[in-house]
Chains A and B, each alone.
Chain A
């Protein structure tokens, strides 16, 4: 149940089976992401792959002394490009790998194009997803829902992605889906259909307890993606944005040329791997320790490293040192930028109120705090909108709701019309009317007492009170208590035992907070292995875009917005 390893093995197998000699890797846009997330360039160089090309690139030169390894998605365009390529081959031998099931007719078309007999191998390697972490995968799809229903092409891509994950992990699962969401039902049915159609492929050794695929809809928990995060990976994604392991730092003031864009990959970066799930304070300490270690080796360490900005200054002043510790300087820069943003946007205060909104049940204090923060000029526009959206979701049906007043306050702050509309869209997307689970007010007695005790005990960390709804859902699932009425099985059979291998897929995108939650559950419950997937990895910004594209009132305009912002 390790998606990263599965993709890595596929790729190394591809490269190995082509034998010795110089090689070129031909990919399409999506497989480029798939490969680049699990392998770095220098790792691939060691395997004698010296060139990386796009199949649709026109400028490739004929190099008959190279072997071509093609890793492509089985799309029409790719097959067409490949046919053109085989008609006029630029390389000596072709090893062709499709990332998913390809049809017989397309194979035939390819075989007919292979007039010069350059194809040595055609195989299907089911790496049709982006392995974000060993237990997290994403499909990098934006704007999944269009007015609460599937775009057919997106549905097909999701089905392909999910089935390839199942094949790569060798699972033929039972499927449960969220009843309140029509989209999850459609997806579940499509996956089932593929499993039935390609039953030979899914003919794996039976395990004692069959694996389980759980399909959820983001709209059931619209709160999680609206919260500020304080663990390293989640925080970096929330504040800077992670795109295929890369982080764009070009907007950081005074950034040096070689740090404009950095790669954070747990596979190759030990510090990152160790600190991925630690919270901001711990990372600061770890970085400080690391720096002090280095500093000890230096002469005349007069200056003390008290704060993160001190550390940044320290690194800047020693170019040699900077080179010596590429990793450290990278992380110092990233953490430095995070702490700058936290200070500038007063994220500590904002986050405290967010957590209060999400977890406590005190309307009067909540509304006071939101009002207070909206008056604070240092709180960014985005954060103001997100606070109001959270309030609107949380106290949607509250008798004394001050939402109109808050909206008025937003207008006075000069928040644009488009942004103000987001609040309404969020409620429309994830409001009470839509939800199937009790996201906010627990209904059964056990949960109520639990919350009561939680209130008595007080909280350890005000910024980490929130537990995503996914935690409860999975917890109940593992204990065998998840209600069939909310999450029915597809088909007649149902699971008797407690599930062991679980694959969760969130339509509309998963968050890194949920990734952390799954990571902790995997560690704390022996015998249970959970893999989390999403149509994308969300932060607040991309979530709001997702919401705008899915709700009807957002409509066409927001689609333009999301496309625009993707480009950044």
Chain B
């Protein structure tokens, strides 16, 4: 059969070279023919046959002297020179060779040409190409290499030849390599390629930073969530301040991701020759995926309790644990009394005196002191039980009865779990009630807004855009603007009960907002709570810088809107779009690519606004006014953009 197992090894004309200096003026180089290997994987990935890697015809030679004749010999040994007699005419221009018009050999491929057709490769360029190719080889080392049957293929423009030639001439006067036109062409191409590699476009720089931030978030966010969960449960495993610090850090990364992706989105938009539509599409897709990322992760980021709240939580937990212990103790007591009917019948007092009697043979009872004290504080039977068990446990430990202690511990844990469960149930019920109330309010609000908007349309359409219906709370926002993904796969969990931010009843800000919104709605006037916040915070409504920003944004043309228009033009060049237009093959992508671009744009904006609001909210909570200012500015910018966008759409 023709095909060899698992791979096809084929010669290719491409030759890459690695050369290494071994010592002093001794150089050895090895030449590798890099060929393609077609490896076949007949199974789902994982079982791909990796092709063998081998190095072919490696020839080493050493040079000790740079004597002219020897150089010539070496040059000839690099590449077999075409015999003079074989070529009566210059192959490139066709002039006859004679005594005047002498033959010249290309040092790289060995072919013959006349003086007019000779070209020279300057040494620095040669050096650069050699170094560049060596790097390329280190990359190529990772791919399949295979033996080639013969080392001689077309050597046109071969860097390997050049490297050996340069090694000879480096100390001579003429710092260039004589070679033919064809070889220089190839070399020039190679040079372009190397240049391309060195040139890193802005988008790549930004993108690399973006990915770094995403990796960091992936790393830190789970850690934070673990901390926040533990803290919200009132545990003392983690420190509130460290968690706060981590939260800040994660949020910083989100801001960074956001800023970076925004920068990517607007790259080159203001340049005069507009970037290629494909480039813009790429930028938009990067931005879109970054937004999806932020949205997905940010929603999972629960808030931390405030200091007072945390104290309260800790207190609660302590109490719960105590209660549980007591109950467990009671249960144990029952067990004990049941187990020791004989002892009590003996007339031994079931209640131990103040000093608890601890005999190794007998059990123990709750010490009357502690239980009495606790009982006053706790009336939940579960908690009492927990408290009881705790004291048993203490006694068991003191009596160093480890098996019993472990049993009690087990018992204690069960009780605690049970209690926790009940508490969470209670909390859930409470939060559901709250959520329902909230829903009701929002529903009313929305209806009012809808009515109001209708009014506005009839009245003055120039009035401020309808941002007022965007509720300022991050999570409720998310609820209002989930990704309008018709596919349904992008739906984020927007369960109100799952986000503590919203329903946290102790959150004064939240209440404020609600009140404000209610006011806004009932008074039926344009009233954006965030605008007010801004003025409160920076107190300089006529900040010239801000003005400029807005102005700039307005007349430079909103990038989103522009892209929209452009997208229409290029839509037809998109393969997905193409096939949808041809109608022969439709696929789920093009709907996203094509129809939803408007949606994506608007969605992006809205998502961004959500995010920023969440940041503001957070910044306010932690009292970082300078940040609030900055963010507020950002927010206004975005709102402006959205308004522009909407206008354009109309």
Contacts and interface: CB of A to CB of B under 8 A. Distances in A.
Interface of A: 5-6, 9-10, 12-14, 17, 20-22, 27, 29-30, 32-33, 36-37, 40-43, 45-46, 48, 50-54, 56-61, 63-66, 92, 101-102, 104, 107-108, 110-112, 114-117, 119-126, 140, 167-168, 170, 197-202, 204, 243-246, 248, 257-263, 265, 268-269, 271, 297-300, 320, 323-327, 330, 566-568
Contact of A52 (B12, B488, B589, B599): B589
B352 interface: no
Contacts of A10: 44-45
SS of B interface (majority): mixed
Contacts of A104: 2-3, 8, 10
Given A22-B207, A53-B575, A269 B488 contact: yes
A65 B200 contact: yes
B587 A61 contact: no
Nearest to B140: A117
A258 B446 CA distance: 22
A6 B44 CA distance: 6
B36 A32 contact: no
A265 B588 contact: yes
Contacts of A54: 575-576, 578-579
B26 interface: no
Contacts of A123: 38-41, 48
Interface residues of B, number: 96
Contacts of B583: 566-568
Given A57-B578, A265-B487, A324-B482, A201 B595 contact: no
A483 B335 CA distance: 72
B285 A244 contact: no
B439 interface: yes
A269 B279 CA distance: 32
B69 interface: no
Interface stretch (B163-171, B286-294, B560-568): B286-294
B278 A115 contact: no
Contact of B486 (A33, A117, A258): A258
Interface string B474-503: 000001111111111111001000000000
Contacts of A66: 282
A264 to B, nearest CB: 9
A421 to B, nearest CB: 26
A260 to B, nearest CB: 7
A29 B579 contact: yes
Contact of A126 (B42, B201, B276, B439): B42
Contacts of B345: none
Contacts of B584: 29, 566-567
A402 B479 CA distance: 62
A122 B486 contact: no
Contact of A298 (B40, B278, B443): B443
A198 to B, nearest CB: 7
A262 B480 CA distance: 22
Contacts of B479: 324
B575 A50 contact: no
6 contacts: A46-B289, A61-B276, A115-B189, A245-B587, A258-B484, A323-B481
A123 B40 CA distance: 5
Contacts of A12: 45
Given A36-B588, A112-B13, A244-B585, A102 B578 contact: no
- Give the 9 A-B CB pairs with smallest separation, nearest first: A54-B575, A13-B45, A327-B488, A36-B587, A268-B489, A59-B573, A61-B276, A50-B285, A111-B12
A124 B41 contact: yes
Contacts of B10: 104, 107-108, 111
Contacts of A257: 595
Given A117-B34, A299-B439, A33 B576 contact: no
Nearest to A320: B480
B117 to A, nearest CB: 22
Contacts of B40: 101, 123-124, 201
B143 interface: yes
Contacts of A297: 435-436, 439
Nearest to B276: A61
B575 A57 contact: yes
Interface in B280-322: 281-282, 285-286, 288-289, 292
A259 B591 contact: no
Interface string B574-613: 1110110011111111011101100100000000000000
A15 B48 CA distance: 15
Contacts of B434: none
A258 B489 contact: no
B43 interface: yes
A146 to B, nearest CB: 20
Interface in B321-350: none
Contacts of B586: 243-244, 246, 248, 261
B591 A51 contact: no
B118 to A, nearest CB: 23
Contact of A323 (B203, B278, B279, B482): B482
The interface centre, meaning the residue of B2, B204, B586 with most chain A CB atoms within 10 A of its CB, is B586
The interface centre, meaning the residue of A46, A50, A248 with most chain B CB atoms within 10 A of its CB, is A50
B196 A42 contact: no
Contacts of A110: 36
B12 A246 contact: no
Interface in B189-204: 189-190, 193, 196-197, 199-201, 203-204
